[in-house]
């Protein structure tokens, strides 16, 4: 039995000998009262003692590492900056903001773990030490932007019995869900100057994705809706001639483009769109490609 106790004692002694020693400086700060600074100092010591790879020491001269904590009060928030310095004068600094005094203990624990392991505090959060502000960050609602949009530009179609291109017009309303995604309800119509009969109209609901949060961003999108098209009067072949050649049904579309001045309340965009109607005229399924200049306001 004595041998086992001796072995356990030697194991504990060796682990303590291998642990690095840490000296905790008294916390200092601006706009923070003395009791709060003393509390942060004690919280730091407790957090260090909970790490089995480090041992607290009261002698600064013999410590392997020194931890210094500074507090800065800004309104109700408190910014804590913690620095670990070794004997070789190499240091590691981490900083976190506590929304108030009630978050200081959580922030202190994370900062200690961060400087001891030299990993940014954002990556050292655990389920037991998430700050109050972080708890609510994921539940805050992003205020969606709302904009009318109007666009026009050249377009080209097929299966509408027209040999030339026409003009595409659009009017819609867009909701910016967040800086990356936008929903839009858009009415789109196409007409040909030399044909009063040929047209292609749809109302579609779509989603766009923006690749950048800068002022200028490329984007892609997809939409679905209902549409109707009419081919120009004429003969679909040498035997069949029609005077009323209409089609209506579901429409799908894809878009790609660039949006400019995104940080302004008024934006400008260059948008390319291709749409396809699932119903047929006597010439086939109508489809159309267009390039539009779009104003968002």
- Domain chopping of the chain, boundaries: 18-137, 145-296
Q: Assess whether pLDDT exceeds 60 at residue 286.
A: yes
Q: Which residue did the predictor score with more confidence, 156 or 213? A: 156
Count of CB atoms situated within 10 Å of the CB of 114: 23
Q: Assess whether pLDDT exceeds 60 at residue 269.
A: yes
d(CA 186, CA 194): 26
Provide the pLDDT confidence category of residue 120 given band limits of 50, 70 and 90.
confident
pLDDT given at position 123: 57
Q: Which residue did the predictor score with more confidence, 238 or 49? A: 49
What are the tens digits of pLDDT across the range 21-70?
999 999 999 999 999 999 999 999 999 999 888 999 999 988 999 999 99
- Rounded to 5 degrees, φ, ψ at 43 are -65, -35
Q: Assess whether pLDDT exceeds 50 at residue 13.
A: no
Q: Are 234 and 227 in contact (CB under 8 A)?
A: no
Q: Assess whether pLDDT exceeds 90 at residue 227.
A: yes
d(CA 106, CA 98): 8
Q: Are 40 and 73 in contact (CB under 8 A)?
A: no
pLDDT given at position 14: 44
Provide the pLDDT confidence category of residue 126 given band limits of 50, 70 and 90.
low
Cα dist from 121 to 20, 113, 135, whole Å: 21, 8, 16
Q: Assess whether pLDDT exceeds 90 at residue 138.
A: no
Q: Which residue did the predictor score with more confidence, 119 or 82? A: 82
Range 78-92 average pLDDT: 91
**CATH 3.40.50.10070 matches 18-137:** yes
Q: Which has the minimum average pLDDT: 181-185, 231-235, 263-267?
A: 231-235
Structure-token match 């008294």, residue found: 26
Nearest in space to 281 (alpha carbons), one of 207, 199, 224:
199
Range 173-200 average pLDDT: 90
pLDDT given at position 240: 53
Q: Which residue did the predictor score with more confidence, 174 or 136? A: 174
Q: Which residue did the predictor score with more confidence, 7 or 219? A: 219
d(CA 232, CA 200): 11
Provide the pLDDT confidence category of residue 159 given band limits of 50, 70 and 90.
very high
Q: Which residue did the predictor score with more confidence, 48 or 144? A: 48
The average confidence (pLDDT) of the chain is 86
pTM of the model: 0.55
Residues above pLDDT 70, as percent of the chain:
83
Structure tokens at 20: 């690095």
Provide the pLDDT confidence category of residue 165 given band limits of 50, 70 and 90.
confident
Q: Which of 28-32, 53-57, 102-106, 204-208 holds the top average pLDDT? A: 204-208
For the chain, list the strands marked E by DSSP: 20-24, 28-30, 54-56, 65-74, 77-86, 91-98, 145-158, 166-176, 181-192, 195-210, 217-230, 234-235, 241-242, 246-260, 267-277, 287-296
**CATH 3.30.70.260 matches 145-296:** no
């Amino acid at each position: 039995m004595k041998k086992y106790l001796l072995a356990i004692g030697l194991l504990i002694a060796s682990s303590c000998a291998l642990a690095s020693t840490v000296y905790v400086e008294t916390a200092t700060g601006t706009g923070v009262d003395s009791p709060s600074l003393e509390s942060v100092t004690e919280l730091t010591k407790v957090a260090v003692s909970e790490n089995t790879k480090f041992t607290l020491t009261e002698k600064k001269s013999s410590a392997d590492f020194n931890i210094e904590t500074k507090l800065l009060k800004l309104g109700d928030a408190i910014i804590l900056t913690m620095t670990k310095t070794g004997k070789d004068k190499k240091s590691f600094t981490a900083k976190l903001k506590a929304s108030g005094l009630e978050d200081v203990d959580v922030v202190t624990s994370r900062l200690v773990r961060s400087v001891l392991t030299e990993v940014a505090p954002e990556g050292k959060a655990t389920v037991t030490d998430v700050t109050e502000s972080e708890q609510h960050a994921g539940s805050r609602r992003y205020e969606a932007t709302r904009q009318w949009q109007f666009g026009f530009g050249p377009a080209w179609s097929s299966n509408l019995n027209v040999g030339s291109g026409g003009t595409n017009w659009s009017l819609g309303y867009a909701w910016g869900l967040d800086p990356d995604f936008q929903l839009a309800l858009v009415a789109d119509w196409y007409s040909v100057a030399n044909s009063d009969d040929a047209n292609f109209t749809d109302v579609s609901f779509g989603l766009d994705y923006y690749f950048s949060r800068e002022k200028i961003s490329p984007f892609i999108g997809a939409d679905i809706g209902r549409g109707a098209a009419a081919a120009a009067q004429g003969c679909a072949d040498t035997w069949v001639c029609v005077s009323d050649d209409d089609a209506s049904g579901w429409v799908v579309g894809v878009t790609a483009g660039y949006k400019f001045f995104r940080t302004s309340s008024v934006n400008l965009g260059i948008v390319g769109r291709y749409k396809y109607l699932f119903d047929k005229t006597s010439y086939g399924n109508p489809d159309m490609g267009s390039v539009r200049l779009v104003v968002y306001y």
